[in-house]
Chain A
Amino acid sequence: GIQVEQSPPDLILQEGANSTLRCNFSDSVNNLQWFHQNPWGQLINLFYIPSGTKQNGRLSATTVATERYSLLYISSSQTTDSGVYFCAVLNAGGTSYGKLTFGQGTILTVHP
């Protein structure tokens, strides 16, 4: 099956810093989503971005499908950005409709 690798596994920032999280995937995809899991475990959708670039406030994401990677940018980080960021993909050649494959996540800690 498709492999999803996220880097870095851990990231520690001072409030106000910028960061870039990366997601590499091993096969073509027709669906890619970024999620934020808060310290209480709730997963929040950040972006649906199978290709191109999107921005939402301090967050933006870019997916280069032909090169099989996606980037999540966090600018002017805040303590509330802390948590785990997951990338999840749907293999374009897969037969299991809607079956997302998740990466292992990047643990982000933002200190005041």
Chain B
Amino acid sequence: DGGITQSPKYLFRKEGQNVTLSCEQNLNHDAMYWYRQDPGQGLRLIYYSQIVNDFQKGDIAEGYSVSREKKESFPLTVTSAQKNPTAFYLCASTQFLGTKNIQYFGAGTRLSVL
């Protein structure tokens, strides 16, 4: 099945630990995105990547890092510098068709702090 796979579904982080969230897509989409969602809030953009080996900071990039070594994969690392990491993290991808940029989302990863 074509789609976006995020893993794990639930993740727990200990104090001072870095954790990595996986996002894989088999839609052959060029661009990929990471969003953070806090309870009762909309989505806020963390990082995005338009092509392999290139990515840009979004609105709330501090405490996070990403890589884009393959078109299919866009992992997000939540570093120990992110002091409030508890949130729902969503990955999305899109195939640019001019301004018709329709984003498709994975099922998300819920991150909690132990």
- Chain A contacts to B: CB under 8 angstroms: 4, 30-31, 33, 35, 40-45, 48, 50, 86, 88, 90, 92, 96-100, 102-105
* Inter-chain pairs besides A88-B103, A105-B41, 13 sampled, C-beta below 8 Å: A33-B102, A35-B105, A40-B107, A42-B107, A50-B99, A90-B99, A90-B101, A97-B50, A98-B33, A98-B94, A99-B58, A102-B42, A104-B42
- Complexed CA–CA distance, A14 and B50 (Å): 43
- Chain B contacts to A: CB under 8 angstroms: 31, 33, 37, 40-45, 48, 50, 56, 58, 88, 90, 92, 94, 96, 99-105, 107-108, 110
> Which residues of chain A are within 8 angstroms of B105 by Cβ–Cβ distance?
35, 42-44
- Contact yes or no, B45 A99, CB < 8 A: yes
What are 7 of the A-B contact pairs (CB < 8 Å)? Answer: A30-B99, A40-B107, A42-B108, A44-B105, A96-B48, A97-B50, A98-B101
* Chain B at the A interface: SS class: strand
- Complexed CA–CA distance, A6 and B44 (Å): 16
> Which residues of chain B are within 8 angstroms of A104 by Cβ–Cβ distance?
40-42
- Contact yes or no, A98 B48, CB < 8 A: yes
> Which residues of chain B are within 8 angstroms of A50 by Cβ–Cβ distance?
99
- Complexed CA–CA distance, A50 and B105 (Å): 20
Q: A42-B105, A98-B48 are in contact. Are A105 and B42 (CB under 8 A)?
A: yes
Most B C-beta atoms less than 10 A away, residue of A35, A44, A98:
A98
- Contact yes or no, A96 B107, CB < 8 A: no
